[in-house]
């Protein structure tokens, strides 16, 4: 049995796909399971024991019909018996179709139903995203812990992270993830500064991408506190995962890094506004969601359209409630 899994394009969604991967391994212990994903989410799946290999695509490989068709034809050599689609896009279904896998399984929509051999009806009731993924598996799953294993780090990666934090003179930091790819989920700069102002003694490490580095630098320069440091844009995603694993706790907006810290077992306070925690709350035993149910939330949009009260859902969250939640986990 050879199984291909086309994974979601977002880091957080890929983290939420790990229970699905574990479920397939549980059902098919001797199968060859290959992850198919864009290169920027590949670090989430590295070293995972439920996976036999990872096929990465760059953006150019899936840009346009011809490139996607060529990439799909290149997958034919893998001779997949089952091809699961965790992405709802037309492009994902077209890729699977061109692979000529005899069983292509996913949710219908976006004019892609004809390219699936088995279109699974989406649940009518509200269901967390990781359960939506598992719902694609029609076989009966007995009771077992499909959360475990989660993201897997090698001992040398953890050792590197410990030494790197020591170099930064920030041992046992609180990891702070104020940024998201979606602007509607990024903590407003003034609010982020207010949160950091209330942290007196603990070390804080601000994470983000290279596009977030200027905002992170403004936070550090505004506060002028020796216990707060920005590493936004300084490390790869895999290195960031290792550094997060050595944190004492995390404060996260609704973002991929928040899903990572929760998955690693780091106590995580997750701030929700535009997103719906019932659908995408980070998975973990030590997660506390802070969510103000204002009149416009959850809007589920990537850009805030509230011109009267921009980002009201996040602005309404009091910094004191965040720190109180962090101390309660």
Class of domain 157-328: alpha beta
Q: What are phi and psi of 88, to 5 degrees?
A: -90, 10
Instruction: Calculate mean pLDDT across residues 299-306.
Output: 94
pLDDT, residue 40, reads 97
Residue 55, SS3?
A: strand
Q: For residue 262, what pLDDT is reported?
A: 98
On whether the CB atoms of residues 144 and 173 are closer than 8 A, the answer is: no
Instruction: Give the pLDDT band of residue 219 (cuts 50, 70, 90).
Output: very high
Burial of 106 (0-12, 13-18, 19+ CB in 10 A): buried
Question: 178-182, 206-210, 239-243, 321-325: which range is least confident on average?
Answer: 321-325
Task: Convert 291-302 to b/e letters by CB count within 10 Å (16 or more is b).
Answer: bbebebbbbebe
DSSP bridge partners of 287: 268
Q: What is the average pLDDT across 112-121? A: 96
- Is the pLDDT score of 144 beyond 80? no
Task: State residue 83's pLDDT score.
Answer: 98
Strand partners, 58: none
Mean pLDDT of 123-142: 90
The pLDDT value recorded for residue 50 is 97
pLDDT above 70 as % of the chain: 100
Query: What number is the average pLDDT over the span 264-290?
Result: 96
Residue 143: pLDDT above 90? no
> How confident is the model over 269-286, as a mean pLDDT?
96
d(CA 255, CA 267): 15
Domain-wise residue ranges, the chain? 2-134, 157-328
State in words which class domain 2-134 has. alpha beta
Amino acid 201: pLDDT: 85
On the question of pLDDT at 139 being above 90, the answer is: no
Q: How far apart are CA 225 and CA 196, in angstroms?
A: 9
- Residue range 185-216, pLDDT digits in tens: 999 999 999 999 999 889 999 999 999 999 99
What's residue 328's pLDDT?
87
Statement: residue 303 has pLDDT above 80:
yes
- Helical ranges in the chain per DSSP H: 11-16, 18-27, 65-74, 90-99, 129-134, 155-167, 189-197, 213-223, 237-245, 256-263, 277-280, 312-315, 319-328
**Per mean pLDDT, which range of 90-99, 142-151, 254-263 is the poorest?**
142-151
Q: Which two structure tokens, joined as six digits, stand for 325?
A: 């939640």
Q: How far apart are CA 238 and CA 262, in angstroms?
A: 16
Asked whether the predicted pLDDT for residue 120 surpasses 80, the reply is yes
Q: What is the number of alpha carbons within 13 Å of residue 135 lying toward its C-beta?
A: 16
Listed range (63-67, 138-142, 165-169) with the worst mean pLDDT: 138-142
């Amino acid at each position: 049995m050879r199984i291909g899994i086309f994974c979601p394009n977002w880091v957080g969604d890929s983290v939420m796909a790990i229970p699905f991967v574990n479920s397939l391994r549980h059902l098919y212990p001797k199968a060859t399971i290959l992850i198919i994903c864009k290169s920027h989410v590949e670090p989430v799946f590295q070293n995972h024991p439920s996976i036999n290999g990872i096929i990465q695509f760059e953006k150019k490989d899936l840009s346009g019909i011809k490139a996607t068709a060529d990439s799909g034809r290149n997958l034919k050599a893998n001779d997949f018996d089952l091809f699961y689609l965790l992405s709802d896009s037309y492009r994902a279904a077209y890729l699977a179709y061109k692979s000529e896998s005899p069983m292509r399984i996913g949710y219908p929509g976006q004019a892609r139903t004809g390219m699936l051999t088995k279109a699974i009806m989406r649940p009518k009731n509200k269901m967390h995203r990781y359960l939506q993924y598992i719902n694609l598996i029609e076989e009966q799953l007995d009771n077992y812990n499909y959360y475990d294993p989660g993201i897997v780090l090698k001992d040398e990666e953890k050792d590197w992270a410990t030494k790197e934090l020591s170099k930064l003179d920030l041992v046992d930091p609180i990891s702070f993830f104020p940024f998201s790819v979606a602007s509607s989920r990024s903590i407003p700069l003034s609010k982020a500064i207010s949160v950091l102002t209330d942290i007196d003694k603990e070390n804080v490490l601000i994470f983000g991408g290279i596009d977030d580095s200027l905002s992170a630098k403004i936070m550090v320069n505004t506060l002028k506190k020796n216990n707060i440091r920005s590493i936004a844009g300084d490390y790869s995603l895999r290195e960031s995962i290792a550094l997060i694993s050595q944190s004492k706790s995390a404060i996260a907006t609704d973002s991929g890094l928040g899903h990572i810290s929760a998955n690693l077992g780091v106590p995580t306070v997750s701030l929700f506004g535009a997103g719906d925690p019932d659908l995408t709350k980070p998975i973990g035993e030590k997660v506390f969601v802070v969510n103000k149910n204002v009149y416009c939330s959850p809007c589920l949009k990537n850009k805030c359209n509230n011109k009267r009260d921009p980002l009201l859902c996040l602005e309404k969250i009091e910094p004191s409630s965040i720190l109180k939640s962090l101390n309660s986990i």
